[in-house]
A and B are shown apart, each in its own frame.
Chain A
Amino acid sequence: MSKWNLIFDVDLCTGCQNCVLAVKDEYQGNSFAGYAAEMPRHGPNWFAIERRERGEFPVLDVVHRARCCQHCDNPPCGAAAPDGAVKKRDDGIVIIDPQLARGHKQIADACPFGAAHWNEAVALAQHWNFDAHLIDAGWPAPRPVQACPTGALRVVKLEDDEMQRLAAAQGLARTAGGESRGTRVYYRNLARFNRVFVAGTVVGQEGGLEACVANAEVRLIRESETIGTTTSDAFGDFRFDYLQPGNATWRIAVQARGYQMREVEFNREPSCWLGEIRLDPA
C-alpha cells in the first residue's frame, strides 16, 4: 500500500509563509466532519515555519524549516488516546477525530513535536491532518504544498521501501526522534538548519593598503585533526559549514601566496564569524 510523505527542502524555502496561511485559510471558519473541527481565529499555527539565524554580523545564514504533524507510523498521540480517537490511516495519514477526541487533552500533551494544539474552546487537540478531506476528494496535494511557490514543499505517495530508497538517494532526513516513531515528514538540506558553521575573513596588504586575500588555503583543525579545508573567495571570506554543534577548541591555519602562514586558535560556539585574520607579508 503506498502512503503519503511530505518533503521539505530547506534550500528552496524563502520564508514566504504561504504554507502557513494556506492552512489557516483552510480551517478557519470551516469544519470538515470526520476530519477536523474549525481552527480558532488566532492561536498556534498548525503548519508553521521556523526561522533560524546562523552566524553573526556580517556573516549570516538565515534558514527555515516546516513544523507540523509528522504523521508518525507509531504516533504517541494515538497511544495516549482512547480507542478510535486518533486514526492511523492505511495511506499513512494520522487524523485526530474531531468528535471522539473531544475532552482528551493528553492527546495534545503526548506529541513530542509540539504539533498537536489544545483548543480550549472546543476541548480538542488539533493538528494539520494532511488536509485529508481534500486528498480524499482527489486533490493531488494538500494546501501548503499547493501554495508553495518554489517547490520547497512536495508530497510523494510511495510504498515505504520506495520512500526509504528516495530518502537515501536525495539525502532526506527526518526530524530528531523521527526514526523510531516512523515520521512521514522528510527534510532535505536539513544540515543547513541544525548544523553550524565557522567563517572568517582573510586580510592582507597591497601597496600599503588593506586588501582581501583571495585563494588563501584555509584549514580547520579540531584538536590535531584537520576536519576541513577550503579556499577564501574574492572577498577573503571562507566558511566551513555543516559542522556538529557544540563548543570545542578550534584552530584555523591560513596559507596564502606572498604571506606568512598564520594559525589562530579560538574557543567559540559556532555558528560564528572569527573576524578578520590578518596575514603578514612573507
Chain B
Amino acid sequence: MSARFSATLTGLSALMRYCAWRYPAYRAQLAERDLVAQIRLRDADVGRWFELKGGALRSRAGIHPRPDVVMSYETAEIAHRLLTPAINWGRLVEAAKGFQLRAEGPDDLVYRFTQAMIAARRAGWRSGTPVGEGVTRYTNMTNGGPCFVYVKDGKILRTTPIDFDEDDAPPWTIEARGRRFTPPRRTTIGTHGLAWKSLVYSPDRMLYPMRRVDFDPNGERHPENRGKAGYVRISWDEALDLVAAEIRRVKMEHGQGSVLFNHPSHHTWGNIGYWTSGLFRFFNAVGTTRVNHNPDSWEGWYWGAQHHWGNTMRLGLAEPYGTVEDMLKEAELVVFWSSDPEATSGIYGGHEGSVRRQWLKDLGIPTVHIEPYYNHTAAFMRGKWIAPRPGTDAAMALAIAQVWISEDLYDKHFVSERTVGFDRWKKYVLGEDDGVPKTPEWQQAETGVPAREVRALAREWGTKRTYLGAGGMGIGWGGACRGPTGHQWSRAMVCLAAMQGLGRPGVNFGNLQWGTPIDTSFWFPGYGEGGMSGDLVNTALSISLYQRMPQFPSVNTPAQIIPRVTLPEAILEGQTQGWPRDSRSIEGQFLPIRYPAPGHSKVKLFYRYGGSNIGTMPDSKRYVQMYQSKELEFVVNQSIWFEGEAKFADIILPACTNFERWDISEWSNISGFAHHAQLQLNHRVAVMQHRCIEPLGESKADYDIFRELAQKLGLGPYFSEGMSDLDWVQRMFESTDLPKRISWKSFLAKGYYVVPAPVERLRAPVAYRWFNEGRRKDLPEPHPLPSEYKLGYLQGMQTPSGKFEFDCTTLKRYAPDDEERPPILKYVRSRESIASPRAERYPLQLMTPHPKYSFHTTGDGKDSVTNDLEEHRLLIDGHYFWVLRLNPIDAAARGISDRSLVRVYNELGEVLCAARLTHCARPGVVHAYESAARYDPVGEPGHSIDIGGAINLLTPKQPQFARGHAMGNSNCLVEVAPWNGPVPRSSQPDMPDLAPAAQAARVAGVRR
C-alpha cells in the first residue's frame, strides 16, 4: 500500500514538472513564492517532498527536515483512497473532518501548495470561443440575464444577449385557440444587463483598499466623521491585517456577537461568488450577529396572504406552474393589479415575458390595469386603466366582493367545498357586523375610483374566466404589497381569487411572467442553495447540493439576531425587537427576535457588503446616524463602487465584478423561497461565467478577499479547502446534471447550455387545479414541508383546516384582537392616506416602486450609460437627477414646469429631483423609483438635502402593523415645491485621486 502511495506521489511530481514545462501560466504560478512542502503518511516515515525555488520544482522521495507545509494522510490506505482519481469529494471531506487528512503550515503557503497540485489539472483548459481578429467571445450572467462578452486585448469590447446556435435545444410550442406560439431561440437581457461594460469601467470603481484618512486604529478613530472624511490608499496586507486584528480584538474584548455582518438583498450573479456562498462560510467561521432580512418585496404575502392559504415556502406567493398555457388557452380577461412586469421583468427575467404578453394581445384577450400610475405594462397591453389612490386597494377589492355576493357572481361550489370562514367575512363585506356595506359607492371615497367602474369591473371579472396578475410576478411580489397597507392588498388578492374558484381552467394567478412549460427536473442549483457556504441552516444547501457537492459544513455560533429594518435602532439605542422571516411554517413569523440576546455583546464591529441601504431602506438617514455612532468601533465596507454607504466605513475593501472572476450559474435560478424561478424564462440556460478580464486595479473577487482574510485568521484551509474559485466552479459543475449532457471542456469553451423543454406530456400541471378538483397535490414543488400537511401528505393547503381560510385560524390563535391585522380581511385606512392630518402639510402621495432601468442600485449612478436614459435620470446643470413624475395639474398648482428641479420633502427629509410632467400619475400621486445608488447630501450628511436621489430618505420606517416586521415604505405623504436656487453640490468625499501627490494634498485638506 505504501509503495502505491509513493508511486502516486512520483506521478504527481512528474505531472507538475510536465505542466511547468508545457504551460507558461503554471510556471508563473510556481514562481510566485518559494516553499518546501512535504506529503507524507503519519503512521510511517513514507512520503515525498516538493521544493519550489525561483520557479523551479525539485522533488524527492523521503522526509524533508524542514518543510514549510506538511500534508499528511493517516495511513497509506486512506491516502490511496483519496488520491485515486476521480476525486471523491465526499471521502475527502470526511477524511478532513476526521483529521485523517491534515494540512499544516502557514495558511498562505498551504494554499499555494494545494494550488500548485490542483492547478496542474487545469493547465490545459481553454475557455471562451475565438471569433477572429484577436477577439474571444466569453459568457457571463447578470441580474438581467446571460450575455456573450467579447474581449480583445484584455478589454471588454461589447456584451450582447445570446443567440442560440443550431446545436442548442429547440423551444416549446403552445397551441391555443387555433394558433401556435413559440418563443424565439435566444435569450433576452434586462436593460441594466446591457449597461455592464460601463459599470465595469466606471470611474467610481474602487481599485485599491482604502483607509479613512482620520481613522487611527491605535488612537483617535473619529467615528463621527464617517461619511464626511476622505480616504487614502493602503496595501491589501495592511487592510487585511487591520481587519483581522479588529475581528480578533472585538471578539476577545466584547465577546459573543460583537461582530456583525450584513449583505444586500442581491449580489453580482454566480453560485460561488454570491453572498449565500463564500460570505456565509467566512462569517460562520468568524461567528457573527446575523441580520434577519425581512421579506422586503414579499411583505404583504408573507405577513398577510399566507394566513389564508399557506405557501410559506414561497413566502406566501401563489403556485406558479402551467399558467402560461392555461391563460392563453382559457382566459377571457386578465386583471393586472399593481403589476408591472414590463418594468420589473418578474425578477432576473430579462425581458422574457414581453413576447408572451404580446401573444395575449395577438389573441385579443382584454386586460385591466389597477394601479395609481399608468405603468409600462398597461401602456404595452393598452388595457383599461383604473387608478385607486395608493394604499386603498383593499377597499376596492372588498367592493368587488360585495358585488359578487350581491349579484351571485362567485364560485359557490368552490367556496363551500374548498374554503372555510366565508360566512364571517361575508358579514363584514355586506356590513352586517359593522353596519357599513362595502359597496362600490363606499369605496369611492377611499379609492377615488368611480363606483360604477368598480361595479362594471366586478361584473366583467365575475362573468368571465379571469386571470389575476398580482404584483410583478403575477403570483404576487412587489407593487402594493410593499406599502403601508400591503398585507391588506395581498390578502384581498387571495380572497378574490378564492371566490372565483382558483384553479379552474382560465382562473388563476398570473400575468404571463411565470409559468412557462420548461423542464423543472434537470438539476442545477440556484444561489439560494448556498454554493460553497457549508451553511446547512441559513441556505437550502442541505436539500440537494450538500449531497451532490460535499464540502466542509459551517455553523454560525452566536445566537444573536437583529431585525434588518431596525438595525440603526439596534446600534443607536442599544436594543430593538422584531419578527423573523421563517419560511417553514405559517406560525414561524410569530416568534419575536430580541436584541441584544442574553449574554451576548452589543455589536461593535460592522462588516458591510455593498452600499445600498441609504437608497433602499426606509427613513434611511438613520443609517447615517448609525454609522457615525461611537458604538460602532470599526466599520469595514466591501464593495465594487464608491457610492452610498461605502463612504461611511473605516476600511474599504474593493471587490471586482462578476466579469473579473470565475463563476457558474443558471439564469434566474434563485431556488430557496423562489423555487423554479426559471419558470419566467422561455429557456433554461446554465452559464459558465468566465473570468473575461483581469480584475481592475487591485480589486479582487469576493472569494479571494474572504480567502485571504481567512488565512490571516488561521481559517484559510477551512475556508477554501485549498481551492480557487475556478476549482469550486468545476466542482459545482460536476455536482449538477450538466455532465450528463455536456463535457466540462465543451462547457468551458462554449460557455452555456440550453436545457431542452420537456415533451408536452411531461409539462407541469396547472397550479391549483389539484386543489380545485379536490385531488392530491401534483406539482413539481416539494412544498409545503411534510409536517405542514394536516390531512395527509400532499392533501390540502398548509392552513390548519387544509382549506382556503377566509377567517384565518393562525391569526385567531395568535392575535384575535389585532385591529391592524384582524383574522378576516378588513379595510384599515393607511396612515399615509390623504385623510391623515399630516396630509395638510404633505398632500401628495409618493409611490416608490421597483425601478425599470436599474436593478435596485446596480446599474444606477456610477457614471453608467443608464444615466443617459431620460426615463431614469435627467441631466440638469451637469448633474444627473433622480426623476419625480407628477401630474400636470399638481405641477401647475405649484408652479412646477417639466424638466425643472423640485424639492420633494416631508418631516423625514428632502431630496432634490428632476420633475417630469405626466398624465400617467393620477392627480395627487407622484412617482419616483426606489433605490438610487447615490447619496449626495449637500451639507451635513443626514441633515441636508440630498441630490443623489435617495428617495427612501422620505419613506416611513414604521412596520405595516405593530405585531410584525413588514416594511411598508412603498408609498408615503410628501410635498413638492419648485427649486429656484442654483444646483447645489454634494458634500460627500470624492474617490481619492491615487496619484501620490494628489493623495498627499487630499490628506492635508481633509475636513475634520
8 Å CB interface, A1-48 against B: 11-12, 14-18, 20-22, 24-26, 28-30, 41-43, 45
Q: A123 at interface (Cβ–Cβ under 8 A)?
A: no
Q: Is the CB of A210 within 8 A of B374?
A: no
Assembled-state Cα–Cα distance A251/B457 (Å): 29
Q: A218 at interface (Cβ–Cβ under 8 A)?
A: no
Q: Is the CB of A15 within 8 A of B871?
A: yes
With known contacts A15-B379, A29-B197, A53–B191 Cβ distance under 8 A: no
Q: What's the least CB distance linking B270 to chain A, in Å?
A: 21
Q: Is the CB of A25 within 8 A of B865?
A: yes
Q: Is the CB of B198 within 8 A of A209?
A: no
Q: Is the CB of A147 within 8 A of B919?
A: no
8 Å CB interface, B149-193 against A: 155, 157-161, 163, 184, 188-189, 191
Q: What's the least CB distance linking A36 to chain B, in Å?
A: 13
Q: B142 at interface (Cβ–Cβ under 8 A)?
A: no
User: Which B residue sits closest to A63, measured CB to CB?
Assistant: B379
Q: What's the least CB distance linking B183 to chain A, in Å?
A: 11
Q: A106 at interface (Cβ–Cβ under 8 A)?
A: no
With known contacts A28-B197, A143-B160, A212-B455, A21–B865 Cβ distance under 8 A: yes
Q: What's the least CB distance linking B761 to chain A, in Å?
A: 30
Q: What's the least CB distance linking B869 to chain A, in Å?
A: 5
User: Which B residue sits closest to A149, measured CB to CB?
Assistant: B351
With known contacts A25-B865, A236-B452, A14–B197 Cβ distance under 8 A: no
Assembled-state Cα–Cα distance A260/B386 (Å): 28
With known contacts A149-B188, A211-B455, A212-B456, A57–B923 Cβ distance under 8 A: yes
B382 — which chain A residues lie within 8 A by C-beta? 61
- Other-chain contact of A18, B189, B441, B875 (Cβ < 8 Å): B189
Q: What's the least CB distance linking A43 to chain B, in Å?
A: 8
Q: What's the least CB distance linking B951 to chain A, in Å?
A: 21
Q: Is the CB of A29 within 8 A of B387?
A: no
Most buried by B among A41, A63, A149, A233: A149
Assembled-state Cα–Cα distance A235/B184 (Å): 36
A117-155 vs B, Cβ < 8 Å mask (1 yes, 0 no): 000000000000000000001000001001101110000
Q: Is the CB of A57 within 8 A of B922?
A: yes
Q: Is the CB of B354 within 8 A of A149?
A: yes
Assembled-state Cα–Cα distance A28/B867 (Å): 14
Q: B195 at interface (Cβ–Cβ under 8 A)?
A: yes
Assembled-state Cα–Cα distance A210/B456 (Å): 11
- Other-chain contact of B191, A21, A30, A42 (Cβ < 8 Å): A21
Assembled-state Cα–Cα distance A75/B361 (Å): 38
Most buried by B among A11, A30, A63: A30
B189 — which chain A residues lie within 8 A by C-beta? 18, 147, 149
Main SS of chain B's interface residues? mixed
Q: What's the least CB distance linking A156 to chain B, in Å?
A: 17
Q: B201 at interface (Cβ–Cβ under 8 A)?
A: yes
With known contacts A24-B868, A29-B155, A149-B350, A18–B194 Cβ distance under 8 A: yes
Q: Is the CB of B387 within 8 A of A17?
A: no
Q: Is the CB of A209 within 8 A of B922?
A: no
8 Å CB interface, A42-84 against B: 42-43, 45, 51, 53, 55-63
With known contacts A15-B376, A15-B379, A17-B869, A25–B354 Cβ distance under 8 A: no
Q: B961 at interface (Cβ–Cβ under 8 A)?
A: no
Q: What's the least CB distance linking B242 to chain A, in Å?
A: 35
B852 — which chain A residues lie within 8 A by C-beta? 16
User: Which A residue sits closest to B374, measured CB to CB?
Assistant: A60
Q: Is the CB of A56 within 8 A of B869?
A: no
Q: B238 at interface (Cβ–Cβ under 8 A)?
A: no
B460 — which chain A residues lie within 8 A by C-beta? 234
Contact surface of B with A, Cβ cutoff 8 Å: 132, 155, 157-161, 163, 184, 188-189, 191, 194-195, 197-198, 201, 342, 350-352, 354-355, 358, 361, 374, 376, 379-380, 382, 384-387, 441, 450-453, 455-457, 459-460, 852-853, 863, 865-869, 871, 875, 887, 918-923
7 more A-B contacts (CB under 8 A) besides A42-B875, A57-B374?
A14-B379, A25-B195, A53-B919, A58-B387, A147-B160, A151-B355, A234-B460
17 A–B pairs (Cβ distance < 8 Å), ordered by A: A14-B351, A16-B191, A16-B342, A18-B189, A18-B191, A18-B351, A21-B191, A30-B157, A42-B863, A42-B868, A55-B919, A56-B919, A57-B919, A61-B379, A146-B160, A210-B450, A211-B456
